[in-house]
Amino acid sequence: MTKAPDLLVVGVILLLASAATYGTLRLTYGERPAYVHVRWAPSVDDSTREQLERVHSLTRAELREGRTWSYYLTDLSRDNIERLITNPAAEDTHNLHRTAFRVWRTAPRGPYLGSKPAWVATLLEFLIRAFLGLGGLAVIIAGLRTWRARFAPATGRA
């Protein structure tokens, strides 16, 4: 059976591998675009809307109903989201937090942008979860074994 300190080391290594894999994913692919809705003010005509879409990095426009359009927001910075939300031309938004100026955690995400292979990003996402889960499990088991060794009643084993 693996000793608790050895298991703890394995767990920490897996957690560090998860962090390194996450960093690789973000540096290589960036963040996935967020799916959002924007209802434009009645005064916004088509050319103004198209200009605002470019300014705020709103891509793959699709008319939902009336003045509401759906987009993939590619610039997820706080500044861009704040400028979009506070712009009088944007009457309402969906999937954007209107006071924290960020994308809602539950907002659907689009595919990664760029020319890099999508399967690599999918593999990296899988590895992040696998390393995180296995590393966390190893740390928990090591902690339980250590606790049991210190605080469990002596069983007479030598």
Annotated domain spans of the chain: 4-29+115-151, 34-103
User: Could you tell me the fold of the domain covering 34-103?
Assistant: Alpha-Beta Plaits (3.30.70)
Helix axes 4-29, 118-151, angle to 10 degrees: 160
CA distance 50 to 39: 13
Burial bucket for residue 67 (CB in 10 Å: 0-12, 13-18, 19+) = middle
- pLDDT tens per residue, range 69-115: 999 999 999 999 999 999 999 999 999 999 999 999 999 999 888 78
What pLDDT, on a 0 to 100 scale, did the predictor assign at position 56?
A: 97
pLDDT band per the 50, 70, 90 thresholds, residue 5: confident
- Number of Cβ within 10 Å of residue 122's Cβ equals 12
Residue 1 has pLDDT above 70, yes or no: no
Q: Residue 141 corresponds to which tokens in the numbers above?
A: 């088991």
Q: Across 4-157, where does the E strand assignment appear? A: 34-40, 58-65, 68-73, 90-94, 96-97, 102-103
Which structure tokens are listed for 56?
């705020």
Tell whether pTM > 0.75: no
- Which tokens go with 60? 């793959």
Residue 116 has what DSSP assignment?
A: S
Confirm if 90 and 39 have CB atoms less than 8 A apart: yes
